[in-house]
Amino acid sequence: MDIGDTKLESFSLIEKLNEIGIALSAEKNTPKLLEMILRGAKTILNADAGTLYLATEDKKFLQFEIMMNDSLGTILVSKPDEPIPFPPLPLYDDKGKPNETMVAARAAVHKQTINIPDAYTSTENLDFTGTRAFDTRTGYRSQSFLTLPMLNHENELIGVLQLINAKDPISGQIIEFSQVSQRIAESLASQAAIALTNNKLIAQFRELFESFINLISEAIDKKSPYNGAHCRRVPTLTMMIADAACKANYGIFQEFALDEDERYELKIAGLLHDCGKVTTPVHVIDKATKLETIFDRIHLVNTRFEVLKRDAEISFLKQKIAAIESGNLSIIPDLEAALEQKLTQYSSDQNFLRICNIGGEFMRDDLKEQLQQIAKYRWIDPQGVETNFLTENEVYNLNVSRGTLTTEERKIINDHIVVTIEMLEQLPYPRNLRRVPEYAGGHHERMDGKGYPKGLTRDQMSLPARMMGIADIFEALSAKDRPYKKGKTLTECLQILGNMKLNGHIDPDLFDLFVSEKVYMRYANEYLDPDQIDEVDENNIPGYTPPFAYFFSTN
């Protein structure tokens, strides 16, 4: 080969190297990347076969990852549950001495390229017994070998790239790997090592990031096991809704699609949507009853009732003794009846306050008036002071119309979304996660602009953020582990969501999709108790419009 041919060969190889290098830098899937590396190397050097090994974490072994042989028409790819059926190559013996006899091991240990023109005539003191056995078994002839260590930018061993049987591009005969081919292959091996290292770093970053997220969820879980489970279930349901939206081919979903990065972004946002609750006081998050703080103060109220009953009995006994001493025995039956009536009233009032304390969907005005009457009872406190039966704070809490939280406590709960947004907006996101704060921070907004914290309308919110709003509400309604309520049935949940659609609370198209694609049933089968999964009559769901109605209205 003259100088002109050599330059032409070098230029052609460099062009191919550039093309493969660009492709390697863009590939984020490690198994695909490994296959691209070996195929690219075989293509550039016109090799008939090749093997790619990866070094173990402790750098003591080389594991088979991919083997290709064009003449035999075989390709073996190692999988997590199905590795290539060859034992890993040891780089050192039991005494720590380097493995000098296996060509791949020697190249790895010394971090040097080994170019063997012919394995059968080599004088390199290498053991090709396994190669010869393979050739005998398959009829193949392994001749020229080019074995290259893959070293990253820190000169750390990543793996070994081995190419077998270079072919003459014209005659197709097996030849040795040229020095030009070797230099090009070494450049490719270096690029491959860096690409693999980058993928590993990206994977480690993801693992670290997700571990940090799980740490936040665990911190919330430690404060409240109810909200910890909520943080894990909402992203699951959000992704179920997103999957249904991607499959739908009508209306606002016609152009909707999520690639792998966008799905990951939405999943992360779901995991972080309540991270601000890490600052919310436990006694507010888990307030199971209206009088609960560190403990449920209804027990103090019950003690006061016992004091009222005791004082009534003491008063009765004193009056009875006085009647006996005065000989006025005729009034004793009236005294007994009055005592019985008073004790019955106290027991009734005690039960009434117990029910008030539980909290419900609505507390009527007449019940609030009854509460005020009980509050005015007088009793002697432990300091011997006569005072009202209920304190102002107790009356205020027991007067809560819906649920168990006061206005101030509700504001504390609502503020968690402000804290969530503030926390998330401080993180330096990579490009593929830049919408996490928007997705996570919008699940308490309403389509009519009456939500919080920003009062956004439907048009100001992305579709994924609207999905998370439905997921958050449905999970809260159906959750069976809340301390202040039991989980609702599917019919009850969909009735409430349907009314929310009619009231401009949730996205109407997403709600219809949620029902028509049976997303609620997929979630229920995984997370709800059997007694919650009742038979849903979709025709009776308020505001629900099935897809066929949409098609009818547009045709």
| pLDDT tens per residue, range 120-152 | 998 888 989 889 999 999 999 999 999 999 998
Give pLDDT, residue 3.
Answer: 46
Residue 65 has pLDDT above 80, yes or no: yes
Output phi, psi for 546, to 5 deg.
Answer: -70, 160
> Distance between CA atoms of 361 and 404, rounded to whole angstroms?
10
Task: Kindly state the percentage of the chain with pLDDT values over 90.
Answer: 56
Classify residue 58 as exposed, middle or buried by CB count within 10 Å of its CB (0-12, 13-18, 19+).
exposed
Say what the pTM is. Answer: 0.69
Give pLDDT, residue 27.
Answer: 63
Question: Which tokens go with 487?
Answer: 């989980």
How many other CB atoms are found less than 10 A from the CB of residue 27?
Answer: 17
Residue 22 has pLDDT above 70, yes or no: no
Q: Where do the domains of the chain lie?
A: 3-202, 224-286+408-554, 298-404
Task: Kindly state the percentage of the chain with pLDDT values over 70.
Answer: 91
Dihedral sign of CA atoms 512, 517, 519, 521 in order: positive
> Distance between CA atoms of 345 and 342, rounded to whole angstroms?
5
Helix segments in 122-178, DSSP class H: 129-138
Question: Among 11-20, 218-227, 275-284, 369-378, which stretch is predicted with the lowest mean pLDDT?
Answer: 11-20
Amino acid letter for position 117: P
Residue 430 has pLDDT above 90, yes or no: no
Side-chain-facing half-sphere of 75: CA atoms under 13 Å? 9
CATH class of 3-202: alpha beta
4 pLDDT tier (thresholds 50, 70, 90): very low
> Distance between CA atoms of 395 and 375, rounded to whole angstroms?
7
Question: Which tokens go with 46?
Answer: 């016109």
CB of 245 within 8 A of CB of 510? yes
What is the mean pLDDT of the segment spanning 246-259?
A: 92
281: cis peptide before it, omega within 30°? no
Give pLDDT, residue 553.
Answer: 52
Residue 466 has pLDDT above 50, yes or no: yes
Question: Which tokens go with 431?
Answer: 């490009």
Question: Which tokens go with 476?
Answer: 């809260």
CATH code of 224-286+408-554, in short, is: 1.10.3210.10
The answer to whether the 3-202 and 224-286+408-554 domains have the same CATH topology is: no
Question: Among 7-16, 170-179, 407-416, which stretch is predicted with the lowest mean pLDDT?
Answer: 7-16
Q: Three-class SS of residue 462?
A: coil
> Distance between CA atoms of 280 and 274, rounded to whole angstroms?
10
> Distance between CA atoms of 16 and 12, rounded to whole angstroms?
6
Question: Among 45-54, 148-157, 355-364, 545-554, which stretch is predicted with the lowest mean pLDDT?
Answer: 545-554
Output phi, psi for 379, to 5 deg.
Answer: -145, 165
What is the mean pLDDT of the segment spanning 512-532?
A: 94
Give pLDDT, residue 5.
Answer: 52
Output phi, psi for 256, to 5 deg.
Answer: -80, 130
CB of 500 within 8 A of CB of 304? no
Residue 362 has pLDDT above 80, yes or no: no
457 pLDDT tier (thresholds 50, 70, 90): very high
What is the mean pLDDT of the segment spanning 285-310?
A: 88
Compute the C-alpha angle 34/191/127, nearest 5°.
65
